[in-house]
Structure 1
Amino acid sequence: MIDCLVVLKGKGRLSDLERKTKFHELVARAKSGDEKAFVQMVYRLNPAVKKYSRRSGHYFECYSDLVIWLMNAIHQYPA
């Protein structure tokens, strides 16, 4: 989870290969326990997570709740 936070704060960048990975492939890899795939998914979804966190009026609390929700949703997704 620490790696995820580093990427989300803009300190990490996706390589060209990571950008070309299909989203459904990332879901399958994240479900199997690949932390790097999960971080890539959160990085790609980060603009939406930030948007809805800002709308709530409680940015930091909502942001962390949404990332946790995303983790749970990935593991429950039928791939």
Structure 2
Amino acid sequence: MHTMSVQIQDNYLQKFMNYVNNHSESITITKDKNLEHDPYFYERKKELEQVIEESENGTMEMLSQEQYDNEMEIFFKDLKANENL
């Protein structure tokens, strides 16, 4: 058995559902709650897992609280300076 995600054009949905109903012994449809709330859930999950792995194994640069505070101060100053452009 294989599980896959299918995107269906709105105007084709009824034809697709008719096909599924005619082949219901071979096809099961279930709704994925994660995808209902966020169509990119699994892509985001994979990216987050990669960030966590990189931060844990030391391949991602981590800032100290002082470095973070300095970077954010610079960011907000730049943002304010460019506000009127």
Do these two structures clear the TM 0.5 threshold for a shared fold by scoring above it?
no
Q: Which has the higher contact order (CA 8 A, sep 6+)?
A: 1
Larger proportion of helix: 1
TM-score (norm 1): 0.27
For the pair shown, the structure with the greater C-alpha radius of gyration is 2
TM-score (norm 2): 0.26
